[in-house]
Amino acid sequence: MALKTNVIGFPRIGKNRELKFASEKFFKGEIGEAELEKTAEELRAYGWKKQKDAGISFIPSNDFSFYDNMLDTAFLLGAVPARYEGLKLSGLEKYFAAAHGYQGNAGDVKALPMKKWFNTNYHYIVPEISDDTVISLQKDNKVLKEFKEAKSLGIQTVPTVIGAYTFLHLASYTGNKKSADFVSSIVDAFTTLAKELSDAGSEWISFAEPALVFDLSESDKALFVSIYKNLISKIRVESKIKIILQTYFGDIRDVYTEVCALGFDAIGLDFVEGKKSLELLTKGFPKDTLLFAGLINGKNIWRADFQKKNEILEQIKKSVPEENIVIGTSCSLLHVPYTTGSEEKLSAETLQHLSYAEEKLTEIRDFATGEKSAFENNKKLFEKERVTKNEAVRQAIKNLKEEDFTRKPDFAEREKIQHEEFKLPLFPTTTIGSFPQTKEVRANRAAYKKGAITREQYVEFNQKKIKECIHLQEELGLDVLVHGEFERNDMVEYFGNQLDGYIFTQNAWVQSYGTRCVKPPVIWGDVSRNKPMTVEWSVFAQKQTDKIVKGMLTGPVTILNWSFPREDISLKEQAEQLALAIRDEVLDLEKNGIKIIQIDEAALREKLPLRHSDWHSEYLDWAIPAFRLVHAKVKPQTQIHTHMCYSEFNDIIRDIDAMDADVITFEASRADLKILDALKEANFRTEVGPGVYDIHSARVPSVEEIVGALEKMLFKVQKEKLWVNPDCGLKTRGDEETAASLKNLVAAARELRARNS
C-alpha cells in the first residue's frame, strides 16, 4: 500500500536567492515593504505548489521566514525586548532591527545574539526574555496568515511552529524569572493559536521540538511534560485540531516514554541522525497515533539508498501498523539547495547521485508508493562504484604517527620565542581576515570565471585591491595586517575549488543566516592538494608593507563541516585527508616568509554531537587532532592563529586549548563576552582575541563602547595575552562603516595601552 508523506520544511531563499536580494534592497530603502512582501508570497507559493504537485500529504506552512523562525516565534508571542518596541519603526523594520541591529534616526540598538542551530550551519536568533516580558499571542498572527494564504491557493497545509519547550529552552533570560515562570502564558498563547487555526479550517498543528534530542535532566522532562499536559488538554477543549509533535537532529531517548503517554495525534522521529529511534519503537508506540518517520536525509544532497531505507522501514513496521506510518524528511529541507535542475554544468552521470529539495520530494513519493521502476533504477545506481580511490592519499593516512600531531617545543616556550620575534605592542590589533566584498570585487571575480577577462587582468585588479587594503590598515594603525581575501568567494568554496576530490555547483545555495547564503562544495572523492592555493596572494601582500601580514587559511574541520560530505567513508577520514592538504599549504606559506598563519576553524563546534556522551568518541577525538595535524610541523617562530564564531564554546574550552594554536580569536560581542568566564576558569593558556564588536550589523561601535568591552576582558584575561579584533570577517560590510569601526577599534586599543603601560 502507498504510505502517506510529509515534509518538515522547505527552502525559502528562492531558487535564485530572490529573498536575499529583495531584503537587501529593502534595507537600503530601494523598495518598500509591499514589494518585499510580494516576493515572499511568490516564494511561499512556489514551495507549496511543488510539494502539492509531488503528492506530499502533509505540507508545512509557517516554515517561511524573512530572517529566522525563532525570531518569528518571539514576535508571534510578544517576547520582544522594549528597546526594539520603542523604536519608531514599522513592524517589519523592528523585526529586522532585532535581527541585525539598527543605527539611525529612530535610535541605536544592537542585534539580539545569534547562535548555531543545533548541529547545522544555520544560525538562529536567541530570544531575550526579561521579568517584564508578557507572553501572549499577538494580533499580527503570521502562522494564521500564511495558512490562509496557502488555502487561498487551494493548498491545505499543516501550520508548524517552534514548540514551547524548545522556545523557552533556547531563550536567554535577563532577570530572575526562568522558563518555568512562562509556561502558563505560553500554553495560553498556543491554545489560542490552535483555536484560530482550527476556526480557519486547519486540521493539524505541528509543534517542532528539536530540543528534546539534547540530554534532558529530570527538571527538563518535568518542564516538557507540564507544558504539553496542559497544552494538549486545553487544545482538546477549545478546538478539534490534531496535534503533531515533531522532533529532528537526533533521538528522544530521555523523554520517549513521556511523549508516548501525552496523547499526541502524531509523533515525528528522526531515523537518519536518531541513533536510538528504532530501538525506542520496540518499547511500544501509542495506538491510533501516526508516526512521521524521518527517513530521507534533510541535511545532505546524496540520493537515498532505497534498499537501506527499506530495511529501516521494515523494522519500523514491527512496532507501528503500516497504515499509521508517514514517510518524510529527517529535518527541514532548509539545509539543502532547491533543485539539481539549476545545475547546468554538472554531468548527467554526476547529477544522478545528487538530490536537492525538489528531488527529495520525488524520492519521498517514490519510496512511499514503492514505485517499481524507481526502486529498480535506485538499485542500479548503488551497485556502481562511484569513487575512484586515491591510493597515495589513503596510504598517507595509514602512515600517520603520534608525532605528526604534536608541535614542539611546548606552548610556553613558543610564546617567549614569538614575543621576542614580533615585538608587538600590548593589546595588538588585527582583523579576522576578509575585507568588504564590493560589487566591483564580485564583478571582477565573476568576469574571470566567465572568461570575460584574462588571468593577468584578474590578478592585476586583485593586487590593486590588496595594495589599497594594506595601505588602509597601515593608515588606521593596525598592528597585524591581512590581505583582504578579494580573490575568495567563500572561505570553504575557495579552497574546495583548488583541491582534488571536490565537485562544484552553480546554484546549490543554502541559507546560513538572514540574507547570508552559502554554496557548500561537494566532497566527491579522496581529497588532496596539487598546488599552492594562497601563497601567491600572501607573498604579494607581505611585499607591500614592513608590518606582518597573516596568511589566511580555512581549517580541515570547518572545510568538512561546511561542505556536503561523503557518506561512504567516515568523517574522521575525510578530516584527515583535508588536514594533510592544508598542512602542505601551511608549510609552503612558512617557506615563503609568512610569519603568522591563521587557520580558521569557525565551524569547529558545529558538528559537536548534541549528547555529551558522544562528544569525544564521535567527534572531538578526531576533530582536535585534525587541526593539530595541520600545524604540528611549523617552526616555533611561526605563530599559528585560529578563529571561531557563533557557537557556545564554554563547555569545550579545554579542548580548544588543546588545539595548541598560539592565538585564538572568538566571536563574543553578541554573547555579552560570556566566554571570558570559561577562559578564566579553565586557565586558558592560548592568547585570545574575543571580538569587540559585531560585524553582522551595519552600526559603528564607538571608542567608548570598545574600551568598555576591553576593560571587561581584562578582568578575565591577562593583558599580555589579549588581542583586539572584530568578532568575524568584514566581507559583508561596506567600506565606509568598516574604516570607521576599525578606526575606533585602534583608538580604543591605544587608549587601553596608555592606561596599562
What amino acid is encoded at 415 in this protein? E
DSSP, collapsed to helix, strand or coil, labels residue 486 as coil
Distance CA(479)–CA(457), nearest Å, equals: 31
Phi, psi of 599 (to 5 degrees): -115, 95
DSSP codes, 128-179: EE-TT------SS-HHHHHHHHHHHTT--EEEEEE-HHHHHHHSEE-SS--G
Q: Is residue 641 annotated as part of the catalytic site, yes or no?
A: no
Whole-angstrom CA distances from 155 to 6, 240, 679, 704 are: 14, 20, 52, 54
Q: Strand pairing partners for 639?
A: 596
Read off φ and ψ for residue 429, nearest 5 degrees: -105, 145
Q: What is the C-alpha to C-alpha distance for residues 99 and 70, in angstroms, rounded to an integer?
A: 11
Contact 670, 113 (CB under 8 A): yes
14 Rama sector, left if φ>0, alpha if ψ -120 to 50, beta otherwise: left
Amino acid making up residue 90: S
Distance CA 85, CA 398 (A): 59
Contact (CB, 8 A) for 705 and 693: yes
The answer to whether the Cα torsion of 469, 472, 476, 479 is positive or negative is positive
As a whole number of angstroms, the distance between CA 638 and CA 421 comes to 9
Cell matching residue 72: 518569528
Per DSSP, the residues of 500-532 read EEEE--SS--EEEETTEEE---EEEEEEEE-S-
Extract the C-alpha cell encoding 107: 535610535
Distance CA 625, CA 671 (A): 28
Question: Distance between CA 691 and CA 574 in Å, rounded?
Answer: 30
Radius of gyration (C-alpha) of the chain in whole angstroms: 26
Q: What is the sign, positive or negative, of the torsion defined by CA atoms of 478, 481, 485, 487? A: positive
* Grid cell 554554496 in the structure block, residue: 519
- Helix, coil or strand: residue 554: strand
Burial of 99 (0-12, 13-18, 19+ CB in 10 A): buried
701 DSSP 8-state letter: P
Which three cell numbers, joined as nine digits, stand for 214?
Answer: 539534547
Residue 11 near residue 54 (C-beta atoms within 8 A): no
Residue 301: beta bridge partners?
Answer: none
**Bridge partner list, 484:** 434
Residue 220 CA: distances (Å) to CA of 257, 309, 310, 743: 14, 33, 35, 46
Q: Give the separation between CA 435 and CA 518, rounded to whole angstroms.
A: 17
CA dist 91 and 88 (Å) reads 9
* Active-site residue identified among 100, 123, 641, 696: 696
Q: 433, 725 in Cβ contact below 8 A?
A: no
Give the single-character DSSP code of 424: P
Cβ neighbours of residue 557 under 8 Å, at least 6 residues apart? 575, 601, 603, 604, 607, 623, 626, 627
Taking the CA of residue 399 as centre, how many other CA atoms within 13 Å lie in the half-sphere pointing to its CB? Answer: 7
Gap between the Cα atoms of 575 and 458, Å rounded: 32
Positions annotated as catalytic residues are 696
